[in-house]
Structure 1
Amino acid sequence: MKTSEIRELTTKEIVEKIQVEMDNLIRLRLNHAVSPLDNPLKIKDAKRNVARLKTVLRQRELSDNQN
């Protein structure tokens, strides 16, 4: 998910997406611990998506506080 796509979402949608991505990340890590994933880069991508979502959410919080 690109940052431009994330910025188009509402704050509520971003919070929901963070929860979904965190669940996905936990599932990927668990599956990888049991048996190696075909593509372990999916874990890296999931972590980056969570970070992007949290970054945009934090930017919105800071901009709301300044105004």
Structure 2
Amino acid sequence: MKQSEIVKLSVAELQDQLKQLTDTYASLKGTHAISPIENPIQIRKVRRTIARVKTELSKRDLQ
């Protein structure tokens, strides 16, 4: 998910997205620990998307 897409979402949608991404990240980490996943770059992409969503949420809290 790109930053331009994240900016267009509402706060409730961002919180839902954050929960979904966090669950996905935990699932990927668990799967990768047991047996290597096909594309480990997915873990990095999800982690960075989580950071983008958290940054947008904190930016909106400060405004």
TM over 0.5: yes
* Matches of 1:47 and 1:10, distance apart in 2: 21
AA matched with 1:3: Q
Larger radius of gyration: 1
* Matches of 1:60 and 1:2, distance apart in 2: 17
Number of equivalences: 63
Asked whether 1:11 is paired with 2:31, we answer: no
Q: Spell out structure 1 runs of 4+ moving beyond 4 A.
A: none
* Matches of 2:18 and 2:31, distance apart in 1: 20
CA-CA distance at 1:16 after TM superposition: 0.4
Q: Where do 5+ consecutive residues of structure 1 fail to align?
A: none
The residue number in structure 2 matching 1:25 is 25
The residue number in structure 1 matching 2:40 is 40
The residue number in structure 1 matching 2:52 is 52
Q: Where do 5+ consecutive residues of structure 2 fail to align?
A: none
What RMSD in Å do the two structures reach over aligned CA positions?
0.4
What's the CA shift string for 1:26-64, capped at 9, x where partnerless? 00000000100111000000100100000000000001x
